[in-house]
Amino acid sequence: MNWRVNLPDLNTFEEVAHKYKYTKPVVSCKHRLEWDVRPIGPRSRTYERVIKVNSNKYVITNELRGDYDDGDIGVIKHAPITWTRRDGVERIQIQNTRYPYADTLRYTLLENILPQGLYFFCANGKQYVQNNELDCTVSPAVRPDPLLLPKTKAYRHLGLNKFKSPQALALTFERHNGRGESLSRWVNVGNTYSIEAERVTVDRHAKAKMKNGIDSFWAWLLDVYDFIPVCKNPSTYDPDSYKYVRKIITELQEYTKETYAHIPRVSEGHYYVTKELLEDVLQDEKHPYRTHVAVIFMDYATQPLRSVEDVRALRKKYNTFINTCALLKKVTSEEKLVIYKGNKNG
């Protein structure tokens, strides 16, 4: 969860304009008067501010002019919220971060400052905006699906370099001006997005050659599972288990470095277990590092065995572990950002 601060309720364009007009600019040794830094909330958080572009356009941002070579021009271009008014219609444009990693400052601002009817949240490493989430008159059964808010630069490797403006990946909503109960609901009028997950297949022919070793290791693993001192409760922290696992990892890394140094290209290690090491362990039931591989798997799986269902769940994790460490997975289709022109979800 992001740290929250008390920010004002800004639900209309007029309230944003009012907030800008009656907020005294911050002037200090780090903030010049001509920079017109007007905080949207606490004055100690000068980066959370409102900028007036013209009488019909304001932006709310979490960045300072020093973050860009072109000063406030860059700030306005990449602002998380751009609020405009034209011919009796309010428009709000919402942007994700320009960084490929999480921007908690921006997320905190969006969680707190979006107008009523629009709700920002994060789930599974992605960011979304829910339309009409706060409208109690709308039944949850008929509310539109959350809209993905893609990051501007995170998808450049997916063939989206043609977008010169970061706002090409923004969410845009409109509603008619009004006051109080006469305010209409927000309607999505821009593009919507979805992500097609990468498709992965397993090399079944290569895995079939390893079947005897995989089955033998699995049977042995079930026999010794309760005797290996690794914490099997995912909700519990065991300091002794942690120290033991770290010791095993160190020994495994040293052994791998020494044993497979003669191989021209050692495969990338997954879960600290390389393909070469896994193949040797599966073929040799008396391999000195057989227990080490089991410890790495158990630390990854963290699965107690109390029922048949638990064993089945552990077996699925075991298959994933084998497929990953043995490099049996092949990506047949990369992750892809799909853009739907216009209003798809309403």
pLDDT in tens, 165-180: 455 689 999 988 655 4
> What was the pLDDT predicted at 343?
59
Cβ proximity of 248 and 321 under 8 Å: no
- Name which of 156-160, 223-227, 253-257 the model is least confident about: 156-160
- Name which of 20-24, 105-109, 139-143, 209-213 the model is least confident about: 139-143
**Band of the pLDDT at 183, cuts 50, 70, 90?**
low
> What was the pLDDT predicted at 269?
56
> What was the pLDDT predicted at 179?
52
**Band of the pLDDT at 205, cuts 50, 70, 90?**
very high
- Residue 68 pLDDT exceeds 80: no
Give the start-to-end residue ranges of the domains of the chain: 13-197+336-340, 204-327
- Name which of 46-50, 212-216, 315-319 the model is least confident about: 46-50
Across-strand partners of 57?
Answer: 54, 84
Q: Which two tokens mark 80?
A: 């998380």
Q: 108-121, pLDDT tens digit by residue?
A: 899 888 998 899 99
> What was the pLDDT predicted at 237?
87
pTM of whole model > 0.75? no
The three-state secondary structure class of 130 is: strand
**Band of the pLDDT at 342, cuts 50, 70, 90?**
low
* Strand order across the beta sheet in which 57-61 lies: 49-54, 57-61, 81-86, 89-94, 171-176, 187-188
CA distances from 251 to 23, 65, 263, 289 (A): 61, 50, 19, 9
Tell how far CA 126 is from the center of its chain: 4
Which residues, 6+ apart, have CB-to-CB distance to 339 below 8 Å? 191, 192, 193
Nearest one of 63, 56, 91 to 77, comparing CA atoms: 63
**Band of the pLDDT at 164, cuts 50, 70, 90?**
very low
Question: How many of the other CB atoms lie within 10 Å of CB of 21?
Answer: 10
**Band of the pLDDT at 131, cuts 50, 70, 90?**
confident
> What was the pLDDT predicted at 337?
83
Alpha-carbon distance of 113 to 11, in angstroms, equals: 9
- The runs of H, that is alpha helices, within the chain are 13-21, 72-77, 104-113, 204-209, 211-224, 239-259, 275-283, 290-301, 308-325
State the DSSP code for 28: B
Alpha-carbon distance of 344 to 337, in angstroms, equals: 15
Average pLDDT (250-257) is: 90
Mean pLDDT, rounded, of the chain: 83
